[in-house]
Amino acid sequence: MQRGHAVRVPEEEAPEPVARDQRGATIGPAYANYMLGVLVLVYVFNFLDRQIVSILAERIKHDLGVGDGEIGFLYGTAFAVFYAVFGIPLGRLADVWDRRRLIALGLGFWSVMTALSGLARSFGQLAAARIGVGIGEASASPSAFSLLSDLFPAARRATVLAIYSSGIYLGAGLGLFIGGLVVDRWDLAYAAGTAPLGLRGWQVAFLVVGLPGLLLALWVASLREPERGALDGIVAPREPNPWREFARELRAVVPPFTIAHLLAEHAGPRVLTTNLMSALAIAAGATVLSFLLGTPAQWIALGVGLYAAISWAQALALRDRPAFALILRTPTLRNANLGFSFLAFTGYGVGFWLAPFLVRVHGASEAQVGLLLGGSSALAGWLGVTFGGVLADRWRATRADGRLRVGMVTALVPLPLALALLFTRSTWLVYVLSFPLSLTTSLWIGPGASTVQDLVLPRMRASASAAYLLVVTFIGLALGPYTIGRLSVALGDLRLAMAVGLCANFAAAFFLWRAMRTLERDQSSMMRRARGLGERGL
């Protein structure tokens, strides 16, 4: 047997597939649900530490002397590029190592970096800390997607991944609530400038949400690790040197080691030339965009991320042809990734700027926004993402493209709600409309994650999830908040900038429609294509 390839148990020898841990003990439904609950809590902390920047944005701007573009960069690009790039080697590590330990280590690291954000005294220090948060958080979702897919059968996968993803909205809502509460009370209590250590309210808010994550990391480390692929009857052999595989994948994405990695993988002149030409083209593009639009850090960071993604794709083609073909050459997966990414563009972009919009345009206080908008978005998002997963699984039971149809609903239904929210003069109507808007914009998350799991083999699920999150993060998080922030400056109107940002939903609908056309063909041919490229045991 070639190492790293799947092993399908012969049908005459195969018992009814059940989830079991690495010792062979069965993992029952009760424990699987318990693990799901703990992972939801991890994702709550993931987005609590991420989204809190939104409610603190106006205070950070004032204290550090920066504008909307820099705030969009801080929340989006500074975090997103490193989250996406490091998600690739961490996704590879999740495919070959203990996933619960990886999540625990990542959680501990990003919690420390969130707390360090509270000690920042300059924009550069804060950006560096947020980069650290992004690197740590990159460990969570690829590991969790893969782990949950080994705990629950395919028929329930969208529902389960939607429940896990509900942590996005619970965490985002808590971030708004806690951030608004802490910043208002702290700055009011120490208005005379007598605060301990000279800390401002926004700095204390980072400390408050960061440190508890260290305790949660210990809890996650105590969970059981399910055997990879057992539930699907495709058992993935264990990798004897997981950290060597991680280092190898890290070398594939971190410039300038990318060239050395390609040489070590015996890349030919054509591959090396393509890599170097890509680097030159990206550098030229970043230079032109920096000259035309300013904010060079935005374009340099995006350029580095894009070059890292190209280098990783080339390395994957050399290392693992079946994985390269299924992850990057499957038309349905490419179009679905783009479609869901444009939904993330408006989700991250409009979602991030909604709190500053209420503070700036409607004159609301951070505490009021945190309580009303945070509570509403948490409940509505939790309901929406859970309902979207259940609906996707039910539609998939009757038609293959059921999950993608939920994405189409997400692209079109929220548009009139968003426009009504943006252009009403009533502050209370904004709060009222934010509930159905958060509900309908969150429907796609479970279907998006589960679509990826259905189109690749179990042994490559975490890597495929990392690639999916890379595209979603680049387009959604790195470009969404920054683009709307720059439009706000250019148009002189945050409301109009947010309305223009909604156009991304039409791009989402187009790519999801294309994915729906090829889904059945790509799912039915997955095994055949993998076998044709050398996958054994299928």
- Alpha-carbon distance of 536 to 538, in angstroms, equals 6
* Alpha helix ranges (H) inside 139-212: 140-149, 157-165, 167-189, 201-210
Residue 313 lies in a domain: no
Residue 260 lies in a domain: no
Listed residue (521, 532, 92) closest to 322, CA to CA:
532
> Residues near 193 by Cβ (< 8 Å), separated by ≥ 6?
none
Tell me the pLDDT tens digit for each residue of 473-509.
889 988 898 899 889 988 999 999 999 999 999 999 9
Specify the amino acid at residue 137: E
What's the confidence (pLDDT) of residue 236? Answer: 67
Tell me the pLDDT tens digit for each residue of 63-83.
888 888 788 788 777 788 888
CB contact at 8 A, 112 and 134: no
Residue 418 lies in a domain: yes
Question: What's the predicted TM-score (pTM) here?
Answer: 0.78
Listed residue (519, 514, 503) closest to 412, CA to CA:
503
CB contact at 8 A, 477 and 348: yes
What's the Cα-to-Cα distance from 406 to each of 393, 447, 520, rounded to whole Å? 10, 7, 16
Domain count, the chain: 1
CATH of residue 353 = 1.20.1250.20
Listed residue (506, 174, 115) closest to 370, CA to CA:
174
Residue 237 lies in a domain: yes
Listed residue (158, 148, 134) closest to 473, CA to CA:
134
Residue 458 lies in a domain: yes
Listed residue (473, 190, 498) closest to 355, CA to CA:
498
How is residue 477 annotated by DSSP?
A: I
Listed residue (185, 216, 235, 268) closest to 13, CA to CA:
235
Residue 334 lies in a domain: no
Least confident of 2-6, 323-327, 450-454, 490-494: 2-6
Name the band, by pLDDT with cuts 50, 70 and 90, for residue 538.
Answer: low
Listed residue (138, 148, 161, 179) closest to 51, CA to CA:
179
Containing structural domain, residue 437: 7-248+341-524
Least confident of 241-245, 268-272, 419-423: 241-245
